[in-house]
């Protein structure tokens, strides 16, 4: 059977209204942007949109026939029920990879997955909110920009930034580094992934020769020329050699799929032309494969710590490399901090995070019109102005045209209402608003978003559960609750959401509630943990916190 991965465009409806149609299109948009659409794998090695093709077809059919007051339930990629609810209730509720505490581990998950009883939803893969590499581009850019402010007088100009991974999420790194003024060298085992980023404009050059890559870096530094280079190779081979030879970057991080030692991280020695041998190894002796993968992650992390000791600014970018290395016996694995702890948490205290909107018409002009509108609404936000200008210059359209901006509490609902009014006036077509699960109040992840909480509540998962429940009560069109994400089974709990702008006055009401509730849970969570900036934000913005009145 020939599959069509392209999301529908235009005004023709496949479902009974735009609130359902947009969810339907976002499901297809996931596959249009997927790493391995034939396998339903969107990104991260194993993050899927549906459990299998039978389930995918049943989800499609269910959405096509869903009534305006019904809710479709998805259990780890399988449609399991349709129930009569209310017109203002969510149209789709999704739970992926959730396991009871004692059983929340890869071993038990893998057994269930092998039996066809579960799938890994990653973050935006299983909630149908993935919009391609651009989805985390601003967050990655913001992180490198904040790093530059903290360590390099506000710019990465002339700075050598080293990282690993150029997949569905990590592919944002080369362009983000370049946009922040730096010279990025990103190592990736699969040359097809680098070529895909090259073709899309996220990367400037590809090479399979380390010496050539270093010559390019050297020349770019000398000419102070922002640049991104993809090097075909394996981090577990290249980084230890660099550290031993004293080739030390200004910045070192990583975004390989280190959360998954079997299906994600590729052991040392495998890259490029011998990746098929790696696949055979994985299938023939998975336990030995895992052993080599864990040992490689240990070497990779040790090299990053070595570089840090020799002067690099090192930080973790949320893939659990440190946790895996520690598990493999490297006691000093957490010598460098996670990116949220180091650079992002103040933004979370203000309810600020990755707000995304997607043009359901498929017309890029709709996004350009919203770019103009957001700049008119927030004329004093210079960071936002800079970002929109950079995005329009550098970012390619991937799938349905989309934009992402980090907006805070008090900004999201105002802009969403403006866009809904534009839909109502016929200035643009319907819009789906979503976000990364990595947001101010939607995740508990001790090795990433909630690392080092000042009250010690890193592992408290009540907060993303409350976020999901509140988004349901507020009228979001889709709400998802996942276990795992980029750090792996048992190591995080997170929630996602979607609101569809169809131009109706009823949607205005839902906007007012959802886009205060959703970021408001982030202000609440951080204020409860004692962060003064979050407490100040809550008081200034009128977020009602009973224990802090």
What is the per-residue pLDDT for 167? Answer: 81
| SS3 of residue 80 by DSSP | strand
- Measure the CA–CA gap between 534 and 514, rounded to whole angstroms: 19
pTM: 0.86
- Measure the CA–CA gap between 450 and 482, rounded to whole angstroms: 16
CA 162 to each of CA 174, 259, 302, 388, 442: distance values in angstroms, whole numbers, following the listed order: 9, 20, 15, 26, 29
Range of the domain at 213: 135-336
308, containing H or E segment: helix 286-309
Contact assessment for residue 313 and residue 143, using Cβ atoms and an 8 Å cutoff: no
Give the number of domains in the chain: 1
Catalytic residue among 129, 161, 405, 472: 405
Contact assessment for residue 292 and residue 229, using Cβ atoms and an 8 Å cutoff: no
- Measure the CA–CA gap between 360 and 23, rounded to whole angstroms: 10
CA 398 to each of CA 198, 222, 256, 390, 469: distance values in angstroms, whole numbers, following the listed order: 13, 34, 22, 16, 31
Q: Which domain CATH number covers 242?
A: 3.40.50.10730
What is the per-residue pLDDT for 132? Answer: 86
- Measure the CA–CA gap between 47 and 125, rounded to whole angstroms: 6
Contact assessment for residue 68 and residue 53, using Cβ atoms and an 8 Å cutoff: no
- The closest alpha carbon to 53, from 81, 20, 77, 23, belongs to 77
> Is residue 29 included in any domain, yes or no?
no
> Is residue 174 included in any domain, yes or no?
yes
- The CA-based dihedral angle spanning residues 130, 133, 134, 137, taken in that order and rounded to the nearest 10 degrees: 120
- Identify any residues that bridge with 187 across adjacent strands, giving them in sequence order: 164, 231
**Residuewise pLDDT in 10s, the chain (549 residues):** 678 889 999 999 999 999 999 999 999 999 999 989 999 999 888 899 999 999 999 999 999 999 999 999 999 999 999 999 999 999 999 999 999 999 999 999 999 999 999 999 999 999 999 998 777 788 888 889 889 999 998 899 999 999 999 886 677 889 989 988 999 999 999 999 999 899 888 899 999 999 999 999 999 999 999 999 999 999 999 999 999 999 999 999 998 888 777 778 899 999 998 988 998 999 999 999 999 999 999 999 999 999 999 999 999 987 889 999 999 999 999 999 998 888 999 999 999 999 999 999 999 999 999 999 999 999 998 878 888 988 898 888 999 999 999 999 999 999 999 999 999 999 999 999 999 999 999 999 998 899 999 999 999 999 999 999 999 999 999 999 999 988 889 999 999 999 999 999 999 999 999 999 999 999 999 999 999 999 999 999 999 999 986
- Measure the CA–CA gap between 535 and 524, rounded to whole angstroms: 8
Does 472 qualify as catalytic in the annotation?
A: no
> Is residue 305 included in any domain, yes or no?
yes
- The closest alpha carbon to 126, from 478, 508, 545, 501, belongs to 478
State the pairing for strand pair 251-252/160-164.
parallel
- Measure the CA–CA gap between 296 and 425, rounded to whole angstroms: 56
> Is residue 293 included in any domain, yes or no?
yes
Paired tokens of 509: 């009401």
What is the per-residue pLDDT for 320? Answer: 85
- Measure the CA–CA gap between 395 and 403, rounded to whole angstroms: 9
Residue 344 carries which DSSP code?
I
Q: Can you state the angle between helices 462-474 and 505-528, rounded to 10 degrees? A: 160
Contact assessment for residue 23 and residue 92, using Cβ atoms and an 8 Å cutoff: yes
> Is residue 332 included in any domain, yes or no?
yes
> Is residue 445 included in any domain, yes or no?
no
Number of H helices, E strands in the chain: 19, 17
> Is residue 23 included in any domain, yes or no?
no
What is the per-residue pLDDT for 1? Answer: 61
Q: How many CB atoms lie within 10 A of CB 367?
A: 23
- Measure the CA–CA gap between 145 and 168, rounded to whole angstroms: 21
What is the per-residue pLDDT for 386? Answer: 83
> Is residue 161 included in any domain, yes or no?
yes
Write out the E strands in 254-381: 313-314, 353-359
- Measure the CA–CA gap between 470 and 517, rounded to whole angstroms: 7
Angle CA 395–396–397, to nearest 5:
120
């Amino acid at each position: 059977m020939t599959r069509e991965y392209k999301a529908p465009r235009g005004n023709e409806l496949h479902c009974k209204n735009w609130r359902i149609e947009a969810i339907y299109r976002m499901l297809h948009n996931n596959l249009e942007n997927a790493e391995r659409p034939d396998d339903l794998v969107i990104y991260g090695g194993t993050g899927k949109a549906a459990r299998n093709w039978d389930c995918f077809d049943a989800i499609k059919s269910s959405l096509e026939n869903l009534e305006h007051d019904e809710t479709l339930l998805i259990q780890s990629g399988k449609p399991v029920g349709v129930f009569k609810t209310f017109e203002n209730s969510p149209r789709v509720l999704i739970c992926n990879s959730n396991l009871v505490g004692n059983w929340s581990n890869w071993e038990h998950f893998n057994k269930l997955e092998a039996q066809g009883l579960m799938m890994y939803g990653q973050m935006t893969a299983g909630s149908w909110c993935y919009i391609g590499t651009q989805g985390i581009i601003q967050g990655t850019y913001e992180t490198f920009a904040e790093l530059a402010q903290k360590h390099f007088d506000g710019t990465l100009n002339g700075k050598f930034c080293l990282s690993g991974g150029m997949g569905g999420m990590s592919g944002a790194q080369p362009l983000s580094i370049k946009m922040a003024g730096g010279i990025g060298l990103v190592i990736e085992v699969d040359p097809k992934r680098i070529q895909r980023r090259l073709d899309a404009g996220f990367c400037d050059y590809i090479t399979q020769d380390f010496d050539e890559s270093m010559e390019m870096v050297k020349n770019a530094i000398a000419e102070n020329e922002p640049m991104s280079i993809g090097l075909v190779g394996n981090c577990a081979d290249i980084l230890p050699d660099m550290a031993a030879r004293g080739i030390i970057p200004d910045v070192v991080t990583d975004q390989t799929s280190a959360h998954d030692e079997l299906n994600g991280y590729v052991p040392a020695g495998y890259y490029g032309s011998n990746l098929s041998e790696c696949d055979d190894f994985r299938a023939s002796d998975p336990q030995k494969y895992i052993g080599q993968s864990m040992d490689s992650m240990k070497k990779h992390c040790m090299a990053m710590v070595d570089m840090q000791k020799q002067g690099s600014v090192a930080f973790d970018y949320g893939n659990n490399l440190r946790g895996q290395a520690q598990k493999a016996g490297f006691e000093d694995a957490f010598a460098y901090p996670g990116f949220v702890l180091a650079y992002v948490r103040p933004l979370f205290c203000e309810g600020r995070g990755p707000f995304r909107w997607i043009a359901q018409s498929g017309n890029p002009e709709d996004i350009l019109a919203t770019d103009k509108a957001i700049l008119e609404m927030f004329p004093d936000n210079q960071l936002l102005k800079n970002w929109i200008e950079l995005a329009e210059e550098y970012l390619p359209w991937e799938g349905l045209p989309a934009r992402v901006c980090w907006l805070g509490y008090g900004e999201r609902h105002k802009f969403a209402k403006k866009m809904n009014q534009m839909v109502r006036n016929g200035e643009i077509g319907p819009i789906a608003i979503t976000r990364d699960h990595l947001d101010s109040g939607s995740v508990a992840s001790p090795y990433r978003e909630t690392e080092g909480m000042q009250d010690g509540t890193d592992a408290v998962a009540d907060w993303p559960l409350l976020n999901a429940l509140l988004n349901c009560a507020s009228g979001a069109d889709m709400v998802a609750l996942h276990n795992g994400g980029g750090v792996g089974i048992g190591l995080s709990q997170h929630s996602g959401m979607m609101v569809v702008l169809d131009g109706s006055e009823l949607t205005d009401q839902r906007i007012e509630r959802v886009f205060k509730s959703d970021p408001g849970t982030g202000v609440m969570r951080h204020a409860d943990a004692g962060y003064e900036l979050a407490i100040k934000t809550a008081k200034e913005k009128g977020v009602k916190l009973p224990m802090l009145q």
